[in-house]
Amino acid sequence: MITVQQAEQIILENAADYGAEIVLFDEALGRVLAENIKTDRDLPAFNRVTMDGIAINFKAVEQGINMFTIKATQAAGDIPTDIEGIDECIEIMTGAALPDLVDTVIRYEDVEIKDGKATLLTSEIKKGQNQHLKGADKKQGEIILTPGQLITPAVISLVASVGETELRVKRIPRVVILSSGDELVEVGATPSAYQIRRSNSYMLQAILAQQGLKALVKHIPDEPEIIKQQLGLCLQNFDVILLSGGISMGKFDYIPQALKELQVAQLFHKVQQRPGKPFWFGKHSNGVVVFAFPGNPIASFMCTQRYFIPWLNASLGLSPKKTMYAVLADDFSFQPQLEYYLQVKLHFNEQGQLLAAPVEGNGSGDFANLADTDAFMELPLEKSEFKKGEVYPIWLFNQL
């Protein structure tokens, strides 16, 4: 067996670049940018008013003028209207372009408007106030986004503001999720007393969907030739194969042998962890990687969160996520010398600490607990006793 850290290193060393593709900017949410984005003009493109009110030339204040004739009213998007005399002002709205001969905006709250006149109600006026100067954010031709950036709603707003209607983004690998086992029946079927429904595959598909990845789900029976045939087809048509079940030491666990016959190189099999000890990982010479997770629901769920998602992010060029930590809320013990992934419920206390309350459940087959937990806490294999107040890494799978 290898350690969790060794398994992680091997997996990340086999991250791959799947190229890029062009998508419409408003369909790019959650994708990873694969090009530089530059401004097509200054941002902002003009001296932009940031408060509703009146625009004046500050020299009037310096000369003691406190009443102004309203020359015009200008809304956002209007062609600027200038004053002709220093005792004139423009009634102006937020977002409008500041006319050339005015340089200061006084908000409505600080003036009284009556009979076409605006009278100042304050002497606290600073030259140039309440405007966002042209080019203050970015200059024309300046790079504002770089490859490897996750496209968020804020990024969508930014690319729209510079006129980018299409974006080059990293191509997402093609993934198939395969389950195996004659004890599994389809979700809509009525299982016998000794069968269960195929929930693992759809759980993994949902995890991947949260990452913006649409995976195909297939099921193969416990028949060696069919397993080999279906795996062979998947090796030709997908970039990644995720397997759930059939990789342990049971008499009907045919998958490791089928992968060997198909010349998928085993990079490791078994990790010093619980759940997920029988985890198998390998790679074909054509570049297809195979993640073969144990069939126990908690093990498949944890391994996907702990290993597949970091691999996916590395393949897409995203920077590694910063490790999150939480404070253990209660004492906990675990005897086998394995890295243990404890299911925990998270909450913040009055001091702002993130606390992790253990939810033990009934082993790696008890998937009902997952709906009531938020993360796995990673407990090191060097210890067996874990005390309340100690801090350990967590792998978050629910929003706080």
Residue 28 covered by a domain: no
DSSP code for 305: I
* Residue whose token pair is 């003691």: 64
Q: Are residues 164 and 177 in the same domain?
A: no
Q: Are residues 201 and 306 in the same domain?
A: yes
Q: Of 53, 48, 126, whose CA–CA distance to 92 is shortest?
A: 53
Q: Are residues 304 and 186 in the same domain?
A: yes
Residue 266 covered by a domain: yes
Q: Are residues 233 and 272 in the same domain?
A: yes
Give the structural domain span for 123: 48-132
What CATH number corresponds to the domain at position 76? 2.170.190.11
* Residue whose token pair is 């006319």: 99
The vertex-298 CA angle with 273 and 321, nearest 5°, equals 70
Query: Which pLDDT does position 248 carry in this prediction?
Result: 64
Q: Are residues 8 and 123 in the same domain?
A: no
Determine the Cα–Cα distance for residues 38 and 134; give it in Å rounded to an integer: 17
Beta bridge partners of 114: 117
Determine the Cα–Cα distance for residues 341 and 324; give it in Å rounded to an integer: 14
Residue 30 covered by a domain: no
Beta strand 391-396 with 324-328: parallel, antiparallel or unpaired? antiparallel
H/E segment holding residue 252: none
Q: Are residues 126 and 144 in the same domain?
A: no
Locate 359 and state its tokens.
Answer: 């939810």
Spell out the per-residue pLDDT of the chain, length 400, in tens. Answer: 999 999 999 999 999 999 999 999 999 999 999 999 999 999 999 999 999 999 999 999 999 999 999 999 999 999 999 999 999 999 999 999 999 999 999 999 999 999 999 999 999 999 999 999 999 999 999 999 999 999 999 999 999 999 999 999 999 999 999 987 766 767 777 777 776 777 788 899 999 999 999 999 998 888 889 999 999 999 999 999 999 877 765 555 788 889 999 999 999 999 999 999 999 999 999 999 999 998 888 999 999 999 999 999 999 999 998 999 999 999 999 989 999 999 999 999 999 999 999 997 655 445 677 888 999 999 999 999 999 999 999 999 998 8
Q: Are residues 149 and 227 in the same domain?
A: no
Determine the Cα–Cα distance for residues 292 and 398; give it in Å rounded to an integer: 24
Q: Are residues 233 and 343 in the same domain?
A: no
* Residue whose token pair is 């015009």: 72
Q: Are residues 177 and 164 in the same domain?
A: no
Per-residue b or e along 312-343, where b marks 16 or more CB atoms closer than 10 Å to that residue's CB: bbbbbbeeeeeeeebbbbeebebeeebbbbbb
Whether residue 118 contacts residue 70, with contact meaning beta carbons closer than 8 Å, is answered with: yes
Whether residue 375 contacts residue 346, with contact meaning beta carbons closer than 8 Å, is answered with: yes
What CATH number corresponds to the domain at position 10? 3.40.980.10
Residue 208 covered by a domain: yes
Q: Are residues 374 and 281 in the same domain?
A: no
Query: Which pLDDT does position 308 carry in this prediction?
Result: 98
Residue 29 covered by a domain: no
Last residue of a domain, one of 146, 170, 194: 170
Residue 268 covered by a domain: yes
Residue 233 covered by a domain: yes
Last residue of a domain, one of 285, 315, 345: 315
Last residue of a domain, one of 132, 153, 185: 132
Contacts of 175 (CB under 8 A, 6+ apart): 208, 213, 215, 216, 238, 239, 240, 241, 242
Number of domains in the chain: 4
Q: Are residues 70 and 60 in the same domain?
A: yes
Q: Are residues 8 and 54 in the same domain?
A: no
* Residue whose token pair is 């992790």: 356
Number of residues that this document lists for the chain: 400
Residue 247 covered by a domain: yes
